[in-house]
Structure 1
Amino acid sequence: MSTTPPPTGPIPGFAAVVPAGGVGSRLWPLSRADRPKFLLDLLGEGRTLLQATLDRLEPLAENTLVVTGERHAAAVAAQLPSLGESGIVAEPSPRDSMAAIALAAAILERRHGPIVMGSFAADHVIRKQGAFDAAVREAAEVARTGKVVTIGISPTGPSEAFGYIESGDALAGADADANAGTAREVTAFEVVAFTEKPDAATAAAFLETGRYFWNAGMFVVRTDVLLGHLDRLQPTMASGVRAIAAAWDGPGRAGALATIWPTLTRIAIDHAIAEPVAAQGGVAVVPADLDWYDIGDFDSLAGLLPPRADGVTVLDRDQPTAVHGAPGAVVIGGNKAVVIIGIPDAVVVDSGDALLITTRAAAQDVRHASAAVEAASGFSAP
């Protein structure tokens, strides 16, 4: 029996949804409420994280919706001119990921009938496009059977920074094409449970079992299945997003948003759908080695940037940068010479109106100090 060659072209009846929210407060002062990290070219590659996400999804999706805040809609439109007005869903206020994804599902179903949709964050980095394509295509196939499907990231170590997906039994065999006499291996597993970010010892124990994957928040599901689960688990949200979607492409959009949106429960999709549906046996995971990164702080960002010959990582600056006794230093932005002496793994970030000095080990704590500075100075709060 021969192996089916990798498919090409958009997945029939598949839409991509890109929630573009959050501030990235650990990346202050680069990322703020008025210029969140998904709108930034953090890797110096000429494409923002949002643009790179759409580049990755364009070969796969027949339709794409970006869900973002009203204050960022114009910037999103400017960065993605080919998306068009109908491809941007602007939220009047943050209601967490479930409301954003549910509204997108309801709009898509209103426009196209029940279809398969995939939700992918706007600020992740994926280096292996081919592996991503294959994982999304398999997830879409499994989703057609009625499962909620998540793409599980093959862990590279016992990280405390991510949630975990526990896999169970493999889904049945292969997807065979009787007419062509070919078969493609199915790698999906049933999901037993989702676990929030564990401590180091628990994460290490997870990895020893070989059953756990990192949870990157990628979900693929039929729109009618998603909204059907919401009917049972979050009925107010289900009816609310359907009512907004019914008015979305007409003159009643603003009124529906003003009246209904503030009443929707503020909850993440993990808690609203993934966890309870997994407990009922309704979730599957497609494992994938994507070379995936969530740029959560300056330490993780530095790990994605090539250092100079002296080991210093420099981004978005052309002024002199010198170190002595400061291995692993990271210097971003600024129009002045920077000298670092005797501070290993130092981080210096100059955004023009704010200056951050920390270390890579303390990078996770940036959000605490930056919040106080923003509140005291009148800058945009992270």
Structure 2
Amino acid sequence: MSDDLGDFHAIIPAGGIGSRLWPLSRADAPKFLHDLTGAGTSLLRATWDRLAPIAGDQRIMVVTGRAHRAAVESQLPGLADRNVVLESEPKDSTAAVGLAAAILHRREPDVVIGSFAADHVIGDTRGFQRSVREAVIAARAGYITTIGITPTEPAIGFGYMRAGERIVVDGAANVHEVREFVEKPDLATAQRYVEDGSYLWNAGMFIARADKLLEEIGRSEPELLAGLEQLADAWDTPARGAVVDQVWPSLKKIAIDYTVAEPAAAAGRMAVVPGDFDWDDVGDFASLAKLQSGGRPHNLAVLGDNARILADSSSGIVVSHSNRLISLIGVEDIVVVDTPDALLVTTSQNAQRVKGVVDALKISGRDDVL
């Protein structure tokens, strides 16, 4: 680990089921536990491998659900037991990141924390690490800092942020103010953002001094902060279990974008380091198809160790986790996901609608396939 990041502690929130990747991603096997790149390693493990050289194995904390503890620890043998934070139920990113920050702040008052999702794909590890280093320097200066991704296309599946003037911070030449965060746009708006040149994709990476992050949560959600502080006070004591059972269910479920990023940007306390490295959140099967095919639109991507596929004049993606032979003839941009108990057939254009299937299954009580 580099000496200049000795105060840095990485946090990996590993939650959510990735409902737009159903039936591949399930409640008991969410997308971060899968190898979606064909690299032979899960997205979670790849995230760990990016962070370990700049944080060190003993300075990475994983926040995940109780049901996933065994799988997470199996994939991450270097994860210290004291750095496993288990959620009894999902409460979104403010609770996950805020609790980790509060625990680490008690252990190390001057710690700089960085939160990085467990299920993203990043091609340029060195570029990512350079951006993290600059973000840590900006965080030490008191900014809530994020890493924004330079858009490569007018994507409508991502949130955006507008970068402003450069902020002078010794040792970091690529830090800018964040003027505003904006929600996922329509195609015309996204095209305007890309042409403007000052908009970046919001990749959900947040780096800050733990005390500053907690202050920001307290400004917008004081009751939520009080609950997180109560949990952190008990975390490294024998009272942890009882306090978690009492406090965790009462925590407000809200994303960190709303409690920290947006209000900090409005108040001039938010900074961004533009990142030029390849990044994808693999949010649906359309993005997975693009990732697997290398961006070549007329290719058929196949995922699955023992996939049996016959294809003629077809494109899209097939994910096969069964022994069935799958034959495709003359279909374009097809999405086929075949598992032992569920089959999905759609198109890349409709990939975002898969979440609606999951919602319908929940309403109908079909938890056996979720």
Q: Name 2:164's counterpart in structure 1.
A: 168
Q: Does the CA-based 8 Å contact 1:374-1:380 persist in structure 2?
A: no
TM, length-normalised to structure 2 = 0.94
For 2:4 and 2:369, the matched residues in 1 are separated by 40
Amino acid of the structure 2 residue aligned with 1:201: A
For 2:206 and 2:330, the matched residues in 1 are separated by 46
Cα 1:319–1:195, aligned 2, differ >3 Å: closer, same or farther?
Answer: closer
For 2:9 and 2:99, the matched residues in 1 are separated by 14
For residues 315-348 of structure 1, what are the alpha-carbon distances to aligned partners after superposition, in whole Å with 9 as ceiling and x for unaligned? 1143541122323353433212111123212222
Q: CA RMSD in A?
A: 2.0
Superposition deviation, residue 231 in structure 1: 2.6
For 1:94 and 1:142, the matched residues in 2 are separated by 30
For residues 130-173 of structure 1, what are the alpha-carbon distances to aligned partners after superposition, in whole Å with 9 as ceiling and x for unaligned? 1111100000000001100010000001111000111111112x
For 2:290 and 2:303, the matched residues in 1 are separated by 12
Q: Name 1:270's counterpart in structure 2.
A: 257
Q: Name 1:111's counterpart in structure 2.
A: 107
Q: Does the CA-based 8 Å contact 1:330-1:345 persist in structure 2?
A: no
Amino acid of the structure 2 residue aligned with 1:155: P
- Among candidates 28, 31, 53, match of residue 34 of structure 1: 28
For 2:85 and 2:11, the matched residues in 1 are separated by 10
TM, length-normalised to structure 1 = 0.91
Q: Which has the higher helix share?
A: 2
- Among candidates 200, 225, 230, match of residue 243 of structure 1: 230
- Would you say 1:365 and 2:353 are equivalent positions? yes
For residues 64-97 of structure 1, what are the alpha-carbon distances to aligned partners after superposition, in whole Å with 9 as ceiling and x for unaligned? 1101111112221121121022111001111110
- Among candidates 275, 283, 288, match of residue 275 of structure 2: 288
Superposition deviation, residue 381 in structure 1: 6.2
Q: Name 1:231's counterpart in structure 2.
A: 218
Q: Name 1:196's counterpart in structure 2.
A: 183
Q: Name 1:181's counterpart in structure 2.
A: none
Q: Does the CA-based 8 Å contact 2:123-2:277 persist in structure 1?
A: yes
- Would you say 1:54 and 2:42 are equivalent positions? no
Q: Does the CA-based 8 Å contact 2:320-2:337 persist in structure 1?
A: yes
Q: Name 1:213's counterpart in structure 2.
A: 200
Q: Name 2:133's counterpart in structure 1.
A: 137
Query: Percent identity at matched positions?
Result: 48
Amino acid of the structure 2 residue aligned with 1:35: A
The structure with more radius of gyration:
1
Q: Structure 1 stretches of 5 or more lacking a match?
A: 1-6, 176-183
Amino acid of the structure 1 residue aligned with 2:193: F
Amino acid of the structure 2 residue aligned with 1:267: I
Cα 1:304–1:134, aligned 2, differ >3 Å: closer, same or farther?
Answer: same
Q: Does the CA-based 8 Å contact 1:114-1:222 persist in structure 2?
A: yes
